[in-house]
Structure 1
């Protein structure tokens, strides 16, 4: 299938699927179920890109395996986290703020998410249509990035799930495992995942396009719908979160900052 036709089919399928989820949430009033569908849909698009692509078989197998496993693992995780629970606070806040216009605005939001997913899927379509394979070094680096990202995101998700499952930790800040070094390690590994396709496609026709998905994802998480919204909520719902912000890197895992040493000067002593 020609590249443009395959991308158009995938984009249309994403829009139709997300509109279907929007119709379901009109009855359930739980718009948060779009999150697992978003991840699984992208995993499915990776499989479609690999099947429709005319590139080298190795390239298409890479896209199918890496994109499919990533998307469906994340989709299943988000489904288990959200199913049977109240609507995610972000969507609930939007619903309250929008009032009577919430249904059509939520539809616009879902269609926007479909468009973002289509843009991210370029990371799958470009390598699936490249005739030449990467070098051994490039392939090794790409697989290492992908393995690190998926394993790291799965570990961070598991650490947070175990933390919130303990009743005595309710309302506290998770700083176990990866969360000690990053306030959002799952977001970091999410961005890192998209870099694997850029590394795989580097140095070949249109390979530069695969830089756009990790840049787009990083911008969304850092500036738009990820960290800003989540941290505004956590500051009000988690005791000690502001201290956690001061000592812990926002995204890239990094050793915690040490608190400033207490002053030894006598407060009654006059300044010289």
Structure 2
């Protein structure tokens, strides 16, 4: 992929994601359910990244094995996570993180939410371009590093799916009402689903980077895990969710904070 091709692809992907997140803004306004925001984002990023992976960059040609594998991987991510969020949204409707923001913003909530969702489109742009750089790596065939990236992503998807299932099962038990899940992966960290989500995005730099220099733009794919870590740990993931948990669970959640790590599943000393 040349620099000009990359710039053109970035412009197209950026415009598509901006439009998708504008539609998400309108959907949450119309329905009153903020949970639709992440449904639009996940399916939008996945769908755009699949197209960016498979599209020929020069003369038309059939997608390579690498392009097909990468497109399948991002599609699996999007369908798994998007499907989970869709079910959650249809049951609960609201996402407490967004609802809390709307309350804080008051009269300016509509405009600030639109700007917030455009910033999420920018995050999606970084992720989708990282996927495209992996798909369009000119290295022939799938080598050991590629297989490592594939295995990492599949394992991370499985870990995130198990985390979500464990939490869903815990919440479905009426006896756990008002309690905090500390079962399975949730005994190792406060947000194991976020940890596994971050691991997914480490796979694409492995596939995109070519140490021989054949794909110099591939190093840009490192922005995907860096950006996802920043978003999950410092911006829209852990901070607003833990603020909500402190308000709703109080001392119980503070005790959990004292004995577990927020992100990495390592014992807290």
TM-score (normalizing by structure 1): 0.88
Which residue pairs with 1:206 in the alignment? 217
Q: Answer with 83-92 or 37-46: which moved more.
A: 83-92
CA distance in 2 between counterparts of 1:96 and 1:141 reads 44
CA distance in 2 between counterparts of 1:150 and 1:237 reads 29
CA distance in 2 between counterparts of 1:184 and 1:89 reads 16
CA distance in 2 between counterparts of 1:226 and 1:30 reads 18
CA distance in 2 between counterparts of 1:135 and 1:30 reads 43
Q: Answer with 23-32 or 64-73: which moved more.
A: 23-32
CA distance in 1 between counterparts of 2:56 and 2:131 reads 10
Which residue pairs with 2:263 in the alignment? 251
CA contact (8 A) 2:192 2:265 kept: yes
Which residue pairs with 1:218 in the alignment? 229
- Unaligned 5+ segments in structure 2 are none
- Choose from 128, 139, 155 the match for 2:135: 128
CA contact (8 A) 1:163 1:169 kept: yes
- Unaligned 5+ segments in structure 1 are 258-272
Q: Answer with 41-50 or 131-140: which moved more.
A: 131-140
Q: Answer with 129-138 or 60-69: which moved more.
A: 129-138
Task: Name the SS for the 1:250 alignment partner.
Answer: coil
Count residues in correspondence: 257
CA distance in 2 between counterparts of 1:163 and 1:30 reads 24
CA distance in 1 between counterparts of 2:102 and 2:246 reads 21
CA contact (8 A) 1:54 1:130 kept: no
TM-score (normalizing by structure 2): 0.89
Which structure: larger Rg? 1
RMSD value, Cα: 1.9
Deviation at 1:135, TM superposition (A): 5.9
Deviation at 1:39, TM superposition (A): 0.9
CA contact (8 A) 1:6 1:52 kept: no
